[in-house]
């Protein structure tokens, strides 16, 4: 399947639909107190860049965002690939673009928090060179969360 990945506003109807699908997916798997979601309004802030994968015919396939923190740390947020696009390399391609953007901006470490039971997502992160880590940023450790990090230093 051919697809493109571009920077987009999270305030579009297409992205709102992706966020809704992601939230519904995580609501089924993670208790509310362990969900660390950004709203589309939060994603539209200057510290965050959203990348959207689209089929060549325009349909959305997935998304992921880079959120910037102090001290050269970037965070992968809101990674999601629609069920019909899973296994096609969309998630890995979005993650690679997030990493490319982070490197271009001088980010030296990229971190993320995901659900401990999101096995497909963890495989994407591990294939992308991320390694399990201690809790990152201000996320509390729990049985429901898994943390990953990757150094971008030369």
- How many domains does the chain fold into? 1
- Full domain range(s) for residue 91: 3-151
Q: Which residues contact 69 (CB under 8 A, 6 or more apart)?
A: 47, 75, 137
Q: Is the dihedral of CA 22, 1, 97, 152 positive or negative?
A: positive
pLDDT in tens, the chain (154 residues): 799 999 999 999 999 999 999 988 887 777 777 778 899 999 999 999 999 999 988 999 999 999 999 999 999 999 999 999 999 999 999 999 999 999 999 999 999 999 888 899 999 999 999 999 999 999 988 898 999 999 997 5
CATH number at residue 147: 3.40.630.30
Token pair recorded at residue 147:
């943390």
pLDDT of residue 154: 53
Q: Do residues 102 and 95 lie in contact, with contact meaning Cβ atoms separated by under 8 Å?
A: no
Its pTM stands at: 0.93
pLDDT of residue 32: 74
pLDDT of residue 107: 97
């Amino acid at each position: 399947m051919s697809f493109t990945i571009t920077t987009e506003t999270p305030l579009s109807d297409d992205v709102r639909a992706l966020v809704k699908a992601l939230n519904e997916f995580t609501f089924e798997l993670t208790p509310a107190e362990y969900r660390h979601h950004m709203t589309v309004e939060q994603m539209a802030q200057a510290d965050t860049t959203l990348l959207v994968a689209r089929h060549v015919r325009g349909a959305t396939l997935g998304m992921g965002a880079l959120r910037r923190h102090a001290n050269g740390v970037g965070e992968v947020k809101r990674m999601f690939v629609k069920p019909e696009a899973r296994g096609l390399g969309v998630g890995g391609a979005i993650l690679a673009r997030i990493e490319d953007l982070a490197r271009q901006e001088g980010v030296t470490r990229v971190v993320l928090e995901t659900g401990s039971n999101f096995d497909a997502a963890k495989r994407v992160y591990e294939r992308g060179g991320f390694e399990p880590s201690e809790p990152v940023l201000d996320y509390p450790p729990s049985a429901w969360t898994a943390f990953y990090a990757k150094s971008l230093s030369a």
